Amino acid sequence: MTTTWRSQIAPKLQVLLMAYTCAIWIWPPIHFVASRAWKLNPWKFGGWAMYTQPVPDVRVNVSRDAGRATQTLTPEYLYLGVPGGAEAHVLYSKTRELWGRLASPVGLANAVLSHFPDQPAIRITVRTRGMDQDGRSHMETDVYLCQRADGSPACQRE
Amino acid sequence: VRLVGDPLGSSIRDDDVAADEWRFRLLQAGLTLHIGASSALWLWPRSHVWAGCVFIVMFLGCGASIVGKYSWLPGLALLAVSLSEYVGVPIALLPVELANHNLVEHCVYGMTLLAAAGDAQGRAAVVSAARTTVAVVLFYAGCQKAWYGHYFDGQYLAWLNSHEPRFHEFFRLIGLDAHFTSDRSALQFKATSATGVLLSNAAWLGEITCGLLLLSRRWVEVGAVGGLLLLVAIQMAARELFFAGLVAQLLLLFLPLRTAVAATPLVGSFYLLLLAARMSSNGLEFGR
């Protein structure tokens, strides 16, 4: 019984090791391309790009049209005035820091739009601090227009 | 229990199957310490009793790994405890908790547990995969620094000098802080001297070189010693001691068996000291 079990492990282990070795060779270049394309956090996801640039510092703001003016809903307002706003804001900020543009702002938009039933749309602004090739610290801004739709809101990067 | 030759004697040649068997056992014992210490530290603030249990299993696992019998049993228990750290973490946020070296330690340790229950050929293959892993880590760590391009003029080291106290302390200690002092109000970070630029470029070039040397047949020991020296130099500033412990163990696989065996007490002492320091002082930050 033991012999059978052990003899079954050996070939599977060889396949596993082969797959593992291929994966660790192939993954880092893909990681680099993906990190650049989607602004993924280069420190994470096993690409060995720690200490290549500062950890992305993400600031998320929400704004809505209030008559003629635009009202910015500060994180403090979301935390105190919007039910579920704190959780949604923290979750989106954290996922955005990790997953970059792959992180969806729909959850945050849903929490805010639920609080303002007459509001047709909101804007979510994501500012990410990074570093350019010359060593300049800079802010990169993405703005999402999130509109009320059937079911969950639909968000699009402007 | 049959031990395979005397690892400190001259009867085992470095290319023998017995040498790989011993390397495997040392690697498994070292990773057992690594995973056990990490899990014990995670459990310590939550439950001293469970941390104590992990401690006992860790020592049993080390003993079983060296003897080469039933090591998968305590190993599986430790792996389960270690992976339980991630239970309840939303999948989208899992990478926050999962550092790059955590991926490697769990993969390699899992493979040692499988191989421990398998045959000698499998164990030699795991040793080979572990060697490849550290070569890849060093090689790509250097490549990524070059690809992102923040080391050519010392930009990132200057940023670290301005923003990270541990790096500033290190640069000041070696008398190089002036070479990386940037005007923070200008929001531009660059090395301010040729020495700074040289040091910055030496970091990524050193990593790539050591990684490549580890893949060669002729210069492999030079690569291993170079890698260890580079690791010590980097970790004096970065202070990520669990990462350092893991990489050092993997680099030891390239050195002659006698050297690796002689270094085993050092590896053990390193983790025990790390555990003692972290458990006795909640305020001290010794890195992950």
Residues of chain B contacting residue A25, judged by C-beta atoms under 8 Å apart:
136
Helix, strand, coil % over all residues of chain B, rounded to 5: 75, 0, 25
Residues of chain B contacting residue A105, judged by C-beta atoms under 8 Å apart:
none
B1 — pLDDT class (breaks 50, 70, 90): very low
pLDDT above 90: residue B249 = yes
Give pLDDT, residue B60. 95
B179 — pLDDT class (breaks 50, 70, 90): confident
DSSP B188: B
Give pLDDT, residue B281. 65
pLDDT above 60: residue B3 = no
Of A43, A94, A135, the CB nearest to B93: A94
CA distance A144 to A154: 10
Q: Which two tokens stand for residue A123?
A: 């804007």
Of B141, B182, B238, the CB nearest to A48: B141
A137 — pLDDT class (breaks 50, 70, 90): confident
pLDDT above 80: residue B7 = no
- The answer to whether A124 and B142 are in contact (CB under 8 A) is no
Query: How many CB atoms are located within 10 Å of the residue B236 CB?
Result: 15
B287 — pLDDT class (breaks 50, 70, 90): very low
Residues of chain B contacting residue A6, judged by C-beta atoms under 8 Å apart:
117-119
Residues of chain B contacting residue A42, judged by C-beta atoms under 8 Å apart:
144, 148
Of A9, A25, A136, the CB nearest to B188: A136
In angstroms, the separation between the Cα of residue A32 and the nearest Cα of chain B is 7
CA distance B31 to A5: 25
Give pLDDT, residue B10. 61
pLDDT above 50: residue B14 = yes
Give pLDDT, residue B6. 65
Give pLDDT, residue A2. 54
- Give pLDDT tens digits for B82-138: 999 888 888 888 888 789 999 999 999 999 999 998 888 899 999 999 999 999 999
Query: What is the model's pTM?
Result: 0.90
Q: Which residues contact B25 (CB under 8 A, 6 or more apart)?
A: B65, B66, B68
- Give pLDDT tens digits for B255-267: 998 899 999 999 9
Instruction: Determine which helix (DSSP H) or strand (DSSP E) holds A147, and give its type and residue range.
Output: strand A137-147
Rounded mean pLDDT, B159-169 = 91
Of B118, B129, B137, the CB nearest to A10: B118
Q: Which two tokens stand for residue A129?
A: 């601090």
What percentage of residues in chain B have a pLDDT greater than 90?
A: 65
Query: How many CB atoms are located within 10 Å of the residue A23 CB?
Result: 12
By C-alpha distance, the chain B residue nearest A46 is B100
Give pLDDT, residue B48. 87
- Give pLDDT tens digits for B184-236: 677 889 998 999 999 999 999 999 999 999 999 899 999 999 999 999 999 99
Contact flag A10-B119 (C-beta cutoff 8 Å): yes
Rounded mean pLDDT, A47-61 = 93
Contact flag A6-B155 (C-beta cutoff 8 Å): no
Of B122, B144, B158, the CB nearest to A135: B158
- Long-range residue pairs from A6-14, CB within 8 A, at least 24 positions apart, any chain: A6/B117, A6/B118, A6/B119, A9/B114, A9/B115, A9/B117, A9/B118, A9/B122, A10/B118, A10/B119, A10/B121, A10/B122, A12/B114, A13/B111, A13/B114, A13/B115, A13/B118, A13/B122, A13/B125, A13/B126, A14/B122, A14/B125
Contact flag A48-B133 (C-beta cutoff 8 Å): no
Rounded mean pLDDT, A40-62 = 93
The angle at the Cα of A135, spanning A134 to A137, to the nearest 5 degrees, equals: 120
C-alpha distances in angstroms, B216 versus B98, B144, B277, B278? Answer: 31, 21, 38, 38
Contact flag A98-B93 (C-beta cutoff 8 Å): yes
Rounded mean pLDDT, B135-142 = 97
In angstroms, the separation between the Cα of residue A121 and the nearest Cα of chain B is 26
Give pLDDT, residue B159. 92
Give pLDDT, residue B9. 63
Rounded mean pLDDT, A91-106 = 94
Give pLDDT, residue B4. 61
Quick one: B9 exposed, middle or buried, by C-beta within 10 A (0-12, 13-18, 19+)?
exposed
Q: Which residues contact B165 (CB under 8 A, 6 or more apart)?
A: none
